[in-house]
């Protein structure tokens, strides 16, 4: 296992984990339950780890692009309409926020 990201809080860590998993990289969040003991200490407890160290370079490249906003920029002009409920969805999202339907291929 190898650490790829230190998060400011658990929701950020889970967002990163979900992003990596959506790109085929198995990841876990460690240390989220220790946040209550942090206080003001400068410690890196809540982190995202990948299970296959061979995927570290790819995970790191994807994560840098994600945090830089590259994916949001790439898909910004590709808005789509949910086939189930008709909701208009911004291009960077893969599921409908209203009903949970997956974006059509």
Q: Residue 2: phi, psi to the nearest 5?
A: -145, 135
HSE of 84 in the Cβ direction (CA atoms, 13 Å)? 11
pLDDT for 77-103, tens place per residue? 788 999 999 999 988 788 898 999 988
Most confident listed range (11-15, 37-41, 71-75)? 11-15
Q: What is the CA radius of gyration of the chain?
A: 16
Domain ranges of the chain: 2-68, 75-105
Binning pLDDT at 50, 70 and 90, where does residue 9 land? confident
Contact 35, 46 (CB under 8 A): yes
Q: Out of 3.40.50, 3.30.70, 1.10.20, 3.30.110, select the CATH number for domain 2-68.
A: 3.30.70
Overall average pLDDT of the 67-71 stretch:
82
Overall average pLDDT of the 53-79 stretch:
86
Contact 23, 44 (CB under 8 A): no
Angle between helices 56-68 and 10-22 (to 10 degrees): 120
Contact 59, 20 (CB under 8 A): yes
What is 7-70 written as a DSSP string? -SSHHHHHHHHHHHHHTT--EEEESGGGGGGTTT-----SEEEES-GGGHHHHHHHHHHHHHTH
Answer whether 0.85 is exceeded by the pTM: no
């Amino acid at each position: 296992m190898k650490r790829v990201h230190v998060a400011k809080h658990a929701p950020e860590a889970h967002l990163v984990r979900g992003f990596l998993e959506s790109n085929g990289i198995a990841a876990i969040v460690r240390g989220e339950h220790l946040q209550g003991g942090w206080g003001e200490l400068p410690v890196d407890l809540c982190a995202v780890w990948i299970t296959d160290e061979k995927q570290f370079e790819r995970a790191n490249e994807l994560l840098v692009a994600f945090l830089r906003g590259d994916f949001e920029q790439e898909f910004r002009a590709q808005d789509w309409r949910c086939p189930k409920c008709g909701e208009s969805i911004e291009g960077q999202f893969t599921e409908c926020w209203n009903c949970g339907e997956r974006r059509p291929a």
